[in-house]
Chain A
Amino acid sequence: MAAILVVGEQAHGHLKKATLSALTAAQQMAKQSGGQVQGVLVGSGIGTSAQELASYGITVHAVDAAPFEHAVAETHAAAIAAAAKAAGASDVVMAATAYGKDVAPRVAVKLQAGVASDVLAIAGEGGKVLFKRAMWAGNAISTVEVTTQVRVVTVRATEFAAAQKGASAGEIQKLDVQAPQAKTKFLEFNEVKSARPELTEARVVVSGGRGTKGDFKPIEQLADALGAAVGASRAVVDAGWQPNDLQVGQTGKVVAPQLYIAAGISGAIQHLAGMKGSKTIVAINKDAEAPIFQVADYGLVGDLFKALPELADAVKKLQ
């Protein structure tokens, strides 16, 4: 039975949440193809995380050695490809995180595989696994077939629920891999310390546009009341009111939270492309004709400087 190999991701001794979404995608693929899900985890001192992954009822190949401490694409791709060969994998599945995007293509070359990236859903017919993915920033959804014998897939974590723990834990198999001489050296990691969740992972996002006139206090206060991430439209970033990494849109970050609140954002195509996958969209804008209302589930025509503080108060009362 061919294996469907999920690549785990860990930091500070904990498995990342996105891995559990990748596991769900792998389980769905296994249902289609009849393969067996296994896992691989690469790093140094990753015993606890490997056990955590195995607790989902899958065999986990652990490549646990000092040269793999940092997630350098060259070395990690070599370890993952070795595990895929050891497991006889037909598919390698990763979450489309920075790690997954960095490493997966290199794994694919080693396995002579095609890559389906940032997959939104598993489709298929008659035992053939197909993938749905967004193109043109979500303005079109394609169904793709990876025609190679082995397939490499990265999946958008927000589109797959977290896997459930298995009835019994799987076993951990240590795998020795000779680390290749990497041409890349890890120097440092500068963690962005923010009390707020990360934009692409947040359950709730509150974004501000030109209507804020650069004053993001009401946005931030509502975000903190909701435990939400803060986003911004391109106009705001171009004006220099907010840093670039907050930009939601086709050329910025693509988000798909449970709740997206757009305040003072008119709704340019560029912006809509980055957030219209959100489950529930709220638009607050003075201009009743703003295009953002065409995609909003709930629209409120009004002044954000009045509405947002009211909303923040109401949210606090609910909690």
Chain B
Amino acid sequence: MKILTTVKRVEDYESKIKVRPDQTWIVTEGVNYRANPFDEIAVEEALRLRDANMPSEVVVVSVGPAAAATEIRSGLAMGADRGILVKHDAFVDSDGVARLLQKVIEQEKPDLVLMGKQAVDVDDNVAGQLVAEYLGWGQATFASKKESLESPEEKAKKPGLKLSADKKSVQAAREVDGGLEVLEVQLPAIVTVDLRLNVPRYASLPNIMKAKKKPIQELTPQGLSVDVTPKVKVLKVEPPPARTAGIKVPDVATLVQKLHAEAKVI
């Protein structure tokens, strides 16, 4: 089977995020970049499904600047087979990303598309669902697994998504409010992944070396005939309301008194 996964180049969540003085975006100089952590979980799941269902192929797609090739390489170093970069320097909103992915998916015709549930930069949590509707496919968002991340299943690197015997559908346990919902989706399908689906592997040195030789195809929005003018315009970016350090209290009794009488929260 063919599995397509997406990897977005995002600011490292350990980096300090600062808003630009002109309030148009955040300061990007001196910030470290990495693959979106939810996307790494998607790549890991794709690799597990591939290895359990050979012959199969895993294709990693990114929409972003030329530098996003680095994040595609990190997916290839984890073990994916080849990459596609839809190169665009300016901001693309989730709807633009979804329509670009729709075109790539129509060309590639994968059986399954795995995406992180959200990118930790704009935190939209909509692209996967948009792609599914544009394609008219079924979706399972926020895929998790019933077993814990300390379970023997996870230690044995078993996929959390269960492919049917005839490979015509996939079962996913979704993390929803108040529990886990299990859906069965006909293939081809879109699955967006949550944190508890798996623990992504680290790339080994030999695989990092091998990844350098794997192909990355470059596409453009123009080439795909997609107008990426955003439907959602970011007008202004501001720092969050500053939290000023409060007071230190000497003991529990004072704390309780403050919480009760001053903050009125207990």
A residues contacting B by CB (< 8 A) are 72-74, 77, 97-99, 101-106, 108-110, 113-118, 130, 133-148, 182-192, 198, 200-201, 204, 226, 240, 243-245, 247, 250-252, 258-259, 268-270, 273, 276-277, 279-282, 288, 293-301, 307, 310-311, 314-315, 318
In the bound complex, CA of A190 to CA of B243 (Å)? 39
* Complex contact B140–A184 (CB within 8 A): yes
B residues within 8 A CB of A74?
138-139
Residues 83-110 of chain B: 1 if any A CB is under 8 Å from the residue's CB, otherwise 0?
A: 0000000000111000000000000000
- When distances are taken between beta carbons in the complex, the residues of chain A under 8 Å from B127 are 105
Q: B258's closest neighbor in chain A, by CB?
A: A298
Residue B17 is within 8 A (CB to CB) of chain A in the complex: yes
Contacts of A252 in B (CB 8 A): 195
Q: Which residues of A contact B126 (CB under 8 A)?
A: 101, 104-105, 108, 115, 117
Instruction: For the complex formed, measure the closest distance between the CB of B195 and the CB atoms of chain A, giving whole angstroms.
Output: 6
A-B contact count (CB 8 A): 265
CA distance A148 to B95 in the complex (A): 12
A298 touches B259 (CB 8 A): yes
Q: Is the CB of B266 within 8 A of A296?
A: no
Residue of A105, A135, A137 touching B13 (CB-CB under 8 A): A137
24 contacts between A and B (CB under 8 A): A98-B141, A108-B130, A133-B123, A138-B240, A139-B26, A140-B237, A140-B240, A141-B237, A141-B238, A142-B238, A143-B235, A147-B230, A183-B137, A186-B183, A226-B266, A245-B195, A269-B15, A280-B259, A281-B246, A297-B263, A299-B248, A300-B255, A311-B252, A315-B266
Bound together, the chains give a CA A97 to CA B11 distance in angstroms of 26
CB of B245 within 8 Å of the partner chain: yes
Q: How far is the CA of A146 from the CA of B95 in the complex (A)?
A: 11
Instruction: Report Cα–Cα, A307/B254, bound state, in Å.
Output: 12
Interface assignment of B185: CB less than 8 Å from any CB of chain A? yes
Contact status A136-B249, CB under 8 Å: no
Chain B residues lying within 8 Å of A186, measured Cβ to Cβ, are: 181-183
Q: Closest chain B residue to A187 by CB distance?
A: B182
The residues of A that contact B265 with a CB separation of less than 8 Å are 204, 258-259, 279-280
Let me know if A115 and B95 touch, CB within 8 A: yes
B54-62, B146-154, B207-215, B216-224: which lies at the A interface?
B146-154
Given the known inter-chain contacts A135-B121, A136-B26, A140-B238, please indicate yes or no for A191 contacting B179, CB distance below 8 A: yes
Q: Once the chains bind, are B175 and A245 in contact (CB under 8 Å)?
A: yes
Interchain nearest-CB distance for A57 vs B (Å): 27
- Ranked nearest first, the 9 interchain pairs of A and B with the lowest CB-CB distance are A114-B231, A183-B138, A105-B129, A297-B246, A139-B17, A109-B133, A184-B138, A98-B176, A106-B133
Flag if A146 contacts B232 (CB, 8 Å): yes
Most buried by A among B15, B123, B182: B123
Residue of B nearest to A72 (CB): B183
* A118 lies within 8 A of B123 (CB): yes
Determine if A276 and B235 form an interchain contact, defined as CB atoms under 8 angstroms apart: no
A142–B123 Cα gap in the complex (Å)?
11
Q: A114-B95, A184-B185, A250-B120 are in contact. Are A192 and B180 (CB under 8 A)?
A: yes
Given the known A-B contacts A101-B125, A245-B175, are A273 and B13 also in contact in the complex, defined by CB atoms under 8 Å? yes
- For the complex, give the distance between the alpha carbons of A146 and B179 in Å: 33
CA A281 – CA B173 in complex, angstroms? Answer: 34
In angstroms, Cα B243 to Cα A21, docked, is: 25
